[in-house]
Amino acid sequence: MKLSIEGVSKQYRGGVWALRDFSLELQPGVLGLLGPNGAGKTTLMSILATITRATDGHVLWNDKDLARNPDAIRGVLGYLPQDFGVYPNLNAVEFLEYLAAVKGLDAATSRRRIDELLSLVNLGDVRKRPLGGFSGGMKQRIGIAQALLNDPQLLIVDEPTAGLDPEERVRFRNLLSELSGERVIILSTHIVSDVEATATDIALISSGTLIAHAAPEVLLQQVEGKVWEGIVPSNEFQALKQQYLISGTARRADGVHVRMLASRAPTGAQPQAPTLEDAYLYCLNSHRVGAAA
């Protein structure tokens, strides 16, 4: 089971490049695709989900080219788009049955699986309620259920935890971890904590290009010894922001507790254990500085 993305580029009308020469090879596991807004994550997801065509490059699923054989990927694909709708007059079961039919799934098996999926996403109690009355978070959970309908080998989830409450977010993270064994999962998000909890691999994307692809530990090693925390009076905080890359702040009675990234210790700051968020900010900043230079 292998997904290869080879030199994929995408240019939209008006000459805007959303992706440029993006290459990546994925094996079973969870890939956390991290990047700021507008980095090209959704474009990449859409290309992999056969919704849009790459301007250049190839996507191969088990060495089969998606351009020549899109159904090879569609048959094993579970896709949760960032923005999707539901049919308001159908209830949860009917909607999933509809999509199961469209996906060509066996009726009896899919019926059993729909029941299980609805319980899994905690919608068992409202399975007969029309979707038009669902909240945003409930619709998102329906989206998660439909993505898992066909027991996908390739699961692409684009900002899946958007709109979920903290409990549902934890539930979803656990679900992804459980599912990750024998499938390729791509989790696109800008929420670092989602990736931290589930990803076996991380790809950082910015301005349509891949800036890092590594295991979380490797990314963390990059910022080892570069994370510091210090306390500054409120009136000195602005000046500090100009000097260092800030990854977190908290206002307390004794001043502003600032978490910052620097090669050498800022005056009075104490070393801290790095987090993935520190690593993410460090990589993005290094890329920006490099690009500007």
Partner 1 sequence: MNARVLYHLVRADFLERVRRYSFLVTLAFAVYLGYCAVTGKVVVKLDDYRGVYNSAWVGALMTLVATLFLTLFGFYIVKGSIQRDQETRVGRILATTPMSKSFYTVAKMISNFAVLGSMVGVMALAAIAMQWLKAEDPHVHLWPLLSPLVIFALPAVSFTGALAILFETIPGLRGGVGNVIYFFIWTALLVAPGSSIDKGQGVSTSVYFRDFTGIVSIMGQMQQDLKAIAPDYKNGAELTIGNQAAGKRFLWNGLRPTPALYLSRLASLAAAIAIALIAALFFHRFDPAHEWSLKTKTKKAPPQVRSIPTNGEAISLSPPPSSAPIHLTPMPHPSNSGAAVLARTVLAELKLMLKGHPWWWYAVAAGLFIASLASPLNNVRGGVAIAAILWPILVWSQMGTRESRFNTASLIFSSERSLVRQLPAVWIAGVIVAALTNGGLAIRLLIARDHPALLAWLACTLFIPSLALALGIWSGTSKVFEAVYTVWWYVGPAHFTPGLDFLGASPVSARSGLYLFITAGLVVAGYVGRRAKLAYV
CB of 273 to partner 1, least distance (A): 24
Which of 277, 275, 242, 272 has the alpha carbon at shortest distance from 257?
Answer: 272
**Binding of partner 1 by 28 (CB under 8 A):** no
As measured in angstroms, the least distance from the Cβ of 11 to partner 1 is 14
Nearer to partner 1, 182 or 217 (CB): 182
Residue 83 vs 254, nearer CB to partner 1: 83
Q: Which of 95, 72, 194 is nearest to 143 (CA)?
A: 95
135 in contact with partner 1 (CB under 8 A):
no
The residue from 146, 161, 188, 209 that contacts partner 1 (CB under 8 A) is 146
Residues 147-186 that bind partner 1 (CB under 8 A): 148-151, 167-168, 170-171, 174-175, 178-179
75 is a site residue for partner 1 (CB under 8 A): yes
Helix 136-147 / helix 107-120 crossing angle, nearest 10 deg? 140
b/e for 2-40, b at 16 or more Cβ within 10 A? ebbbbebbbeeeeeebbbbebebebebbbbbbbbeeebb
Residues 6+ apart with CB under 8 A from 39: 205, 206, 207, 208
Among 105, 211, 219, 220, interactor with partner 1 by CB under 8 A? 105
Q: Does 109 bind partner 1 (CB under 8 A)?
A: yes
Q: How far is the CB of 244 from partner 1 (least distance, A)?
A: 36
